[in-house]
Amino acid sequence: MRLIPIPIFVNYTIGAYNKNMPSLRNQSRDLLSSKNATMTNPRLVVLELLIKENRPLTIDQVLKLSKGKLAQSTLYRVIGDLRDFGLITEFTTPENTMVIELNSDESKHHHHIFCQKCGSITDIELNQELETALESEVAKIEKYQSISIVSHSLELFGTCNNCTQLG
């Protein structure tokens, strides 16, 4: 198999709700309203954190950033609700840590880069040509393995710029 280098780009706008909005609370309320979901303080807290941080967060990060506003059991219940409403996506890191991120109208199918030193996660979108080639390969796998694949993800591992600069 011959690999052809195709450029990828980091999309820092994935999940960027906070443009032109007055407050995190109002943005969170708007998201819940858009799904006809009941507004509860724990739901609002989680959405506010995801909007403010504008990046994928682990359960531990959410608990730490919430500064005691959320119990762990409540957080898992809220994650289930927000996932069912289509407001967040959850995935698992290579270390089997649950991570959540905000879905948005602007967010497209994307992949992640994991820093092996600090654990940071960066969203990336593949060049459309590469994504199309990947989807074509997935279709071939479906055909030859007699399986129905519902989604795919590409995980890249390395060292982020911050960790590289720290040595």
**Which tens digits make up the pLDDT trace of 57-88?**
999 999 999 999 999 999 999 999 999 999 99
Structural element, H or E, at residue 133: helix 128-145
Express each pLDDT in 87-139 by its tens digit.
Answer: 999 988 888 889 999 986 666 778 888 888 888 888 888 888 988 998 999 99
We report the CATH number of the domain holding residue 79 as 1.10.10.10
Mean of the per-residue pLDDT values of the chain: 84
Q: What is the pTM of this model?
A: 0.72
Q: Has residue 69 been placed in a domain?
A: yes
- Which of 104, 125, 162, 134 is CA-nearest to residue 10? 125
Q: Has residue 3 been placed in a domain?
A: no
Q: Has residue 101 been placed in a domain?
A: yes
Q: Has residue 66 been placed in a domain?
A: yes
- At 10 the pLDDT is 46
Instruction: Specify the number of domains making up the chain.
Output: 1
Q: Which domain holds residue 152?
A: 8-166
